[in-house]
Each structure stands twice: as structure tokens, then as C-alpha cells.
């Protein structure tokens, strides 16, 4: 009969166990090089070309649900939201008016001081499409990609503060790692006293100020903003509020959980900030060590 | 082709394009962005296990590896995470195929459940070793849902093979 061929008794390729070992070693090698060494981004981009049409098709139901829920949003809710936004605009309007004047003044003063002029940062408005499916990390997918000029490493903010950083870019989409992800870190400063620190994602929706001495001057309720030392985030963007301070004598560092300022785990419109102006080049290393003490705090450019 | 031992019915040989089509449909289902919704089954693992049990000669470790990589890329997981789990799953399912086919679909599902569970545990172990956060116990519920889905899948995926070779109006099947 047509199509009935005998099973291949003698030519079945390598033994199953050999195949198993080969593929296991291969996938372990892939895992290590992807997680630790980041060698495989080109390979991933290649594969994602293959997966992309299917991904797009699969995102349509999610799009549909999102649009439908928007469409059926009740009139009352919209009215409330409208009122709130008007209020906020009024409050912000007055500050904006002054900002214009301050910016002018700043430019003139900077010119007087012969300081480098701050370039305005080009930014792109994007929308959070959905949460990435990987349950081990906190990432979301934005609806703009390389075609809109987005690059990996850019900072993303919403109307209340920083929410994360772009980690991967595809032609039409990009992947945003939220600040609450365990692998995400951001250099920050406490507004009240200018204390510099690094804020890490805690993995449970909160963030954590690490490596601050147990007697550091931090209080619950302190506002935390970006320090801009990394050359990625602009300085002064709100990031978090200190929730509480746990000082344990047994530990070297204080445990300081923080609440994110922005709607980190919410959906909506976000702003992808363009790359910051290049930092000035590092000053030459001083020959005498004593003279260089003032430069200690400067972090190396990322 | 394995005989369906229970039904005493001789099936048509499977068509490879049908196998790959179903695997791609499963991939599509895996790509649907359900976010961190609990108890969403891993469709590719399920369909892969099915074909590895049914057709151990044609579908095996290599297919598992390829679809694992595609899942990794689409889902945004670490590259090689699903591939690692699916390779072991395919191997175990191939080895089990001679035994599993003697059982009814419900009993087959009970055989496949530990395999699916194992693949999930492997993925969690790999990611936790790399320093990711633990996603919560609800995640393991997905493999139980998948095992329940095995029963309808058993009929749906075999439908093309139930058809007669030559269509005959007078034959009573």
C-alpha cells in the first residue's frame, strides 16, 4: 500500500542515550552562555524572526481583550478620570510656567559658567502591551521597537517616576525589565540628605536599598530619586519611597525595603527616554594620590 | 506506527506534516500572552509528549530541542531553558511509549503527568540556580491541567489516522 513503509530497523541514527547527552549538553551550554555571558543575542534575534509572525498572531486575542475592555469602560469612570486629570494639569500648569522661565535662566547661567549645555532628551511614547510570559522575571512588552528608534538600555518612565529599563529590542516590540525584577539595579540618591545608594529589585513587587551601613541616615518615608551616576537615567527622577528601615545589630547592612513611586506593575502609556548626553570624559588620573580624594564618588561610565 | 492496542483498530500511518502542524499550533497557544496567570498548561510539552509516545521513531529529542528553543525565544525565557526540559521530556516519553500505549487514555494521562511535572521542576531548578525569583507554587498546577487535557487530545490528534484509506460508500466504517 502507498505510504506504508516498514519502520527503519537498522538506520535509526545515534543511540537515544547518546542523542540525549548531546542535546542536554548543548542546551546547558546555551543556558550558561545566555544567562551569564550574554553571547547569544544575535542568535536569539535570528530565531525570533522565525517566531515573530506566530507571536504577532498570538498577541491578537490579548489586543482584542484589551481594546474591548477599554471600549466598555463605563462613562462614570471616564468622567472621574477626566476630572482627576484636569486637576492634575492645573496643578502642574503653574509649575510648568515657571519651568520655562527657569530653563531659560539655567541656559543663560550655564553659558555664563561655560558649562556643557544640557541637550534636551528625545523621548518616545509607548504602550505596555502585555506581561511577558516568563514567570521567573518581571518583564513587560512595549508596542514600539527599533523602528521607532528604541534601543536597549534606555530608561522608561511613566507620569509618576521611573518604571524600568529596555533590555531587548525587536523590530516592532521591545522588552522592558521592571525595577522590581531581581536582576534590575538603579543608582539612586535620597532627596533629604543626598545619600547615594543602589536600589535593587526584591522580587516580590518591592525594591531594596542594599549596602547601606546599619547606621546610615535613612528614615521611613524618605523619597528616593535617580542619581544619574550610571549615565543612563537622568538625575532627579522619582523612583521609590522608603517603606521602613530594619536595623539589625547582627548584620553589617540595614535592610531597607522601598515602595516604587511609579505604577511599576500597572498597564498604560509610558515614556521611553532617549539616550542621555555623553558624560564628560574622565579626568586624568592625578599623580599624587592625596589630590584625587575628591573624585572618589564618581562611578565609572557604564 | 504503533498499534493502538486497546481499540484493536489498525490506524493509518501518521503524516509528518500533521505532526508538525499540531506542534506549531501548540507553539501558538504557548505564545498567547497570558501573563502570570496561574495553571496555564504548557501546550508544546503536552503535544510533544503525545507524539513522542505515539511515534517514537519519527519524533524525539531533536524535535523537542527545536521547539524548546522556539518557545524560549517567543516567551522571553532564558535561551535553552525549555529546550533542556523538552529534551529530557522527549527522551522519557520515547522510552515509555511501549508501555503507555497499552493503557486507556486516563491511565496514559497518569503516566504522562510525572513527565510534565518533571519538566517544570527542571525549569524551576535551572532558573533558581541562575538567581531568578521563585514564581510560586501555582505554577506547578499547569502540568495537572495539561494531564487532564491529554484525554481529549488523545482523540483529536488521532482523528486523521482513523479515516479509511479508500473512501467507500458501501463500507460501514
Q: Which three cell numbers stand for residue B123?
A: 525549569
The pLDDT tens digits of the residues spanning A137-151 come to: 888 888 888 888 888
Q: Specify if B68 maps to a domain.
A: yes
pLDDT band at A6 (very low <50, low <70, confident <90, very high): low
How far is the C-alpha of A287 from the C-alpha of A266, rounded, in Å? 51
Q: Do A40 and B87 touch (CB under 8 A)?
A: no
Residue B53 counted as domain residue: yes
pLDDT at position A274 over 70? yes
Contact in structure between B143 and B116 (CB atoms under 8 Å)? yes
pLDDT at residue number A120? 59
Q: For A179-236, what is each residue's pLDDT tens digit?
A: 888 888 899 999 888 888 899 988 778 888 888 888 888 888 889 998 888 777 888 8
Identity of the highest mean pLDDT range in A1-10, A64-73, B11-20: B11-20
Quick one: pLDDT band at residue A289, thresholds 50, 70, 90?
low
Residue B70 has, within 13 A of its CA and on its CB side, a CA count of 24
DSSP B37: -
Using CB atoms within 10 A of its CB, is residue A262 exposed (0-12), middle (13-18) or buried (19+)?
Answer: buried
pLDDT in tens, A18-59: 999 999 999 999 988 888 777 777 788 788 778 888 888 888
pTM for this entry: 0.78
Query: Is the Cβ pair B80, A20 closer than 8 Å?
Result: no
Nearest-Cα residue of chain A relative to residue B42: A133
Higher pLDDT, residue A11 or A185: A185
pLDDT digits (tens, 9 = 90+) for B8-40: 567 788 889 999 999 999 999 998 888 778 788
Mean pLDDT of chain B: 86
Distance from CA of B106 to the nearest CA of A (A): 28
Residues 15-54 of B with CB under 8 A from A: 24, 27-36
Mean pLDDT of A276-288: 67
Give the dihedral sign, CA B82/B85/B88/B90.
negative
Determine, for residues A51 and B73 on separate chains, whether the beta-carbon distance falls below 8 Å: yes
B34 and A133 in contact by Cβ < 8 A?
Answer: yes
pLDDT at residue A90 above 50? yes
* From A36, A130, A203, residue closest to B33, measured CB to CB: A130
**What percent of chain A is predicted at pLDDT more than 90?**
7
**Residues of chain A neighbouring B89 (CB-CB closer than 8 A):** none
- How high does pLDDT run on average in chain A? 80
User: How far is Cα A139 from Cα A75, in angstroms, rounded to an integer?
Assistant: 32
Query: Could you tell me if residue B75 is inside a domain?
Result: yes
Domain extents in chain A: 12-72, 121-277
pLDDT, position B1: 43
pLDDT at A115: 59
For residue A302, what pLDDT band results from cuts at 50, 70 and 90?
very low
Tell me, yes or no, whether B157 lies in a domain. yes
Quick check: B74 and A1 CB within 8 A? no
Q: Is B172 helix (H, G, I), strand (E, B) or coil?
A: coil
Domain A121-277 class?
mainly beta
Chain A interface mutation, best of B11, B79, B86, B127, highest count of A Cβ atoms under 10 Å: B79
Asked if A141 and B33 come within 8 Å (Cβ–Cβ), the reply is: yes
CA-closest candidate to residue A14, choices B60, B119, B20? B60
CA dihedral sign, ordered B41, B44, B46, B47: positive
- State whether residue B149 sits within 8 Å of chain A by CB: no
Assess whether pLDDT exceeds 50 at residue A65.
Answer: yes
CB A166 within 8 A of CB A103: no
What is the rounded CA–CA span in Å between residue A165 and residue B6? 56
- B2 assigned to some structural domain: no
pLDDT tens sequence across B115-160: 999 999 999 999 888 878 888 888 889 899 999 999 999 888 888 8
User: Residue B81: which of B133, B129, B11, B13 has the closest Cα?
Assistant: B129
The whole-number pLDDT of residue A234 equals: 81
Number of structural domains (chain B) is 1
Determine the distance in angstroms separating the CA of B127 from the nearest CA of chain A, rounded to an integer: 7
Within-domain flag for B115:
yes
| DSSP H or E segment with residue A226 | strand A223-226
CA A120 to chain centre: 21
| Model confidence band, residue A159 (pLDDT cutoffs 50, 70, 90) | confident
Which range, of A154-158, B43-47, B133-137, averages the lowest pLDDT? Answer: B133-137
Residue at B3 is within a domain: no
Least confident interval from A69-73, A124-128, A274-278, B132-136: A274-278
Supply the range of the domain harboring residue B97. Answer: 16-161
Which band of pLDDT confidence, cut at 50, 70 and 90, is reported for residue A293?
very low
Distance between first and last Cα of chain A? 68
pLDDT value for B5: 55
**pLDDT greater than 60 at residue A74:** yes
Q: What is the DSSP letter of A228?
A: -
CA dist A145 and A168 (Å) reads 9
Q: Which residue has the higher pLDDT, A279 or A239?
A: A239
Is B169 part of any domain?
no
**What residues of chain B lie within 8 A of the CB of A55, using their CB?**
31, 74
The reported pLDDT for the residue numbered B20 is 95
Average of pLDDT values for A167-189? 87
**Separation between Cα atoms, residue A49 and residue A45, nearest integer Å:** 6
pLDDT, tens only, B91-119: 999 999 888 888 888 999 999 999 999 99
Q: Percentage of chain A with pLDDT > 70? A: 87
Amino acid at each position: 500500500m502507498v505510504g506504508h513503509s516498514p519502520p527503519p530497523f537498522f538506520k535509526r541514527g545515534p543511540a537515544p542515550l547518546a542523542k540525549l547527552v548531546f542535546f542536554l549538553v548543548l542546551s546547558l551550554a546555551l543556558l550558561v552562555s545566555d544567562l551569564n555571558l550574554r553571547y547569544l543575542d544575535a542568535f536569539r534575534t535570528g530565531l525570533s524572526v522565525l517566531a515573530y509572525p506566530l507571536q504577532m498572531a498570538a498577541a491578537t486575542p490579548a489586543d482584542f481583550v484589551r481594546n474591548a475592555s477599554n471600549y466598555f469602560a463605563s462613562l462614570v469612570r471616564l468622567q472621574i478620570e477626566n476630572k482627576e486629570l484636569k486637576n492634575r494639569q492645573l496643578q502642574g500648569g503653574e509649575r510648568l510656567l515657571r519651568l520655562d522661565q527657569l530653563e531659560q535662566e539655567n541656559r543663560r547661567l550655564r553659558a555664563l559658567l561655560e558649562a556643557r549645555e544640557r541637550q534636551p532628551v528625545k523621548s518616545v511614547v509607548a504602550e505596555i502591551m502585555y506581561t511577558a510570559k516568563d514567570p521567573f522575571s518581571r518583564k513587560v512588552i512595549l508596542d514600539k521597537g527599533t523602528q521607532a528608534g528604541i534601543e536597549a538600555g534606555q530608561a522608561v518612565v511613566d507620569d509618576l517616576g521611573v518604571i524600568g529599563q529596555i533590555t531587548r529590542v525587536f523590530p516592532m516590540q521591545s522588552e522592558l525589565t521592571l525595577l522590581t525584577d531581581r536582576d534590575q539595579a538603579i543608582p539612586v540618591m535620597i532627596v533629604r540628605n543626598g545619600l547615594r545608594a543602589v536600589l535593587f529589585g526584591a522580587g516580590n513587587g518591592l525594591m531594596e536599598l542594599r549596602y547601606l551601613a546599619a547606621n546610615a541616615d535613612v528614615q521611613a518615608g524618605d523619597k528616593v530619586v535617580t542619581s544619574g551616576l550610571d549615565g543612563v537615567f537622568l538625575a532627579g527622577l522619582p523612583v521609590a519611597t522608603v517603606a521602613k528601615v530594619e536595623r539589625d545589630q547582627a548584620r553589617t547592612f540595614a535592610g531597607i525595603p522601598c515602595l516604587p513611586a511609579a505604577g511599576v506593575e500597572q498597564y498604560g502609556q509610558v515614556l521611553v527616554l532617549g539616550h542621555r548626553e555623553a558624560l564628560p570624559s574622565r579626568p586624568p588620573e592625578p599623580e599624587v594620590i592625596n589630590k584625587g580624594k575628591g573624585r572618589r564618588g564618581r562611578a565609572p561610565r557604564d | 506506527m504503533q498499534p493502538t492496542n486497546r481499540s484493536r483498530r489498525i490506524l493509518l500511518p501518521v503524516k509528518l506534516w500533521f505532526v508538525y502542524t499540531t506542534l506549531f499550533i501548540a507553539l501558538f497557544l504557548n505564545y498567547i500572552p497570558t501573563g502570570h496567570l496561574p495553571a496555564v498548561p504548557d501546550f508544546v510539552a503536552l503535544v510533544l509528549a503525545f507524539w513522542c509516545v505515539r511515534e517514537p521513531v519519527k519524533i524525539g529529542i531533536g524535535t523537542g530541542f527545536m521547539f524548546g528553543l522556539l518557545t524560549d525565544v517567543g516567551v522571553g525565557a532564558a535561551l535553552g531553558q525549555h529546550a533542556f526540559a523538552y529534551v529530557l521530556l522527549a527522551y522519557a516519553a520515547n522510552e515509555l511509549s511501549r508501555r503507555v500505549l497499552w493503557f486507556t487514555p486516563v491511565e496514559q494521562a497518569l503516566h504522562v503527568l510525572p513527565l510534565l511535572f518533571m519538566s517544570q521542576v527542571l525549569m524551576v531548578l535551572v532558573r533558581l540556580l541562575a538567581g531568578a525569583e521563585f514564581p510560586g507554587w501555582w505554577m506547578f498546577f499547569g502540568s495537572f491541567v495539561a494531564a487532564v487535557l491529554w484525554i481529549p487530545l488523545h482523540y483529536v490528534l488521532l482523528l486523521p489516522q482513523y479515516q479509511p484509506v479508500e473512501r467507500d460508500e458501501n463500507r460501514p466504517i
